[in-house]
Structure 1
Amino acid sequence: MKEGIHPNYRDVVFLDLSNGFQFVTRSTVNSKETVKLEDGRELPLIKLETSSESHPFYTGTQKSVDNLGGRVEKFRNKFARLGLKK
């Protein structure tokens, strides 16, 4: 492998601000904040707005917004009053 072209991966803590869930993974992202874990390690801290623990798609709380049908159905409903005269 070539020297000096590969990123420097290290352990990083990601914290989900919406529910307090945190997990450790390897990343190259830089951070000015650190956090001390229960095992005594001090790792960089990255704060997230949402993660797989709080996102509606992954938690199963996602709601379907499309209740009027697809694009064609919306177009037909919008221009139904004009109609075709025979």
Structure 2
Amino acid sequence: MKSGIHPAYAPVVFRDATTGTQFLTRSTATSETTIEWADGNVYPLITVEVSSDSHPFWTGNQRVMDTAGRVEKFHRKYDRRSV
């Protein structure tokens, strides 16, 4: 690898915004916000909307979509008439 062209790869804490679960991992992402971890060190904190702790695929909780409402909205928008 060429030196000086790659971003810094360092420990970072990711927090799931939905569940509040925190993960300590390594990443090239950075943040001005910091958090003190259980080991006593201070790490950058990055808040994410979805992680494996809250994603429907991993949790088994599927969201119910209002498909009937979408279809009705489509018909109103395009004024479906008999062909």
* TM > 0.5: yes
| Structure 2: distance between partners of 1:59 and 1:12 | 24
Amino acid at match of 1:24: L
Amino acid at match of 2:2: K
| Structure 2: distance between partners of 1:47 and 1:3 | 30
Q: Which has the larger radius of gyration?
A: 1
Select the structure that is richer in helix. 2
Percent of pairs with identical residues: 51
**Moved runs in structure 1, 4+ residues, more than 4 A?**
none
TM-score if structure 1 supplies the norm length? 0.68
| Structure 2: distance between partners of 1:52 and 1:33 | 22
Structure 2: gaps (5+ residues): 68-79
Structure 1: gaps (5+ residues): 68-77
| Structure 1: distance between partners of 2:48 and 2:34 | 14
TM-score if structure 2 supplies the norm length? 0.71
Deviation at residue 37 of structure 1 after TM alignment? 0.8
| Structure 1: distance between partners of 2:20 and 2:63 | 23
Indicate the residue corresponding to 1:32 in structure 2. Answer: 32
Matched pairs, number = 72
RMSD across aligned positions (CA): 2.2
| Structure 2: distance between partners of 1:58 and 1:41 | 30
- Tell me, what secondary structure is at the counterpart of 1:12? strand
Note closer, same or farther for the CA distance 1:64–1:18 as it changes in structure 2 (3 Å cut). Answer: closer
Indicate the residue corresponding to 2:15 in structure 1. Answer: 15
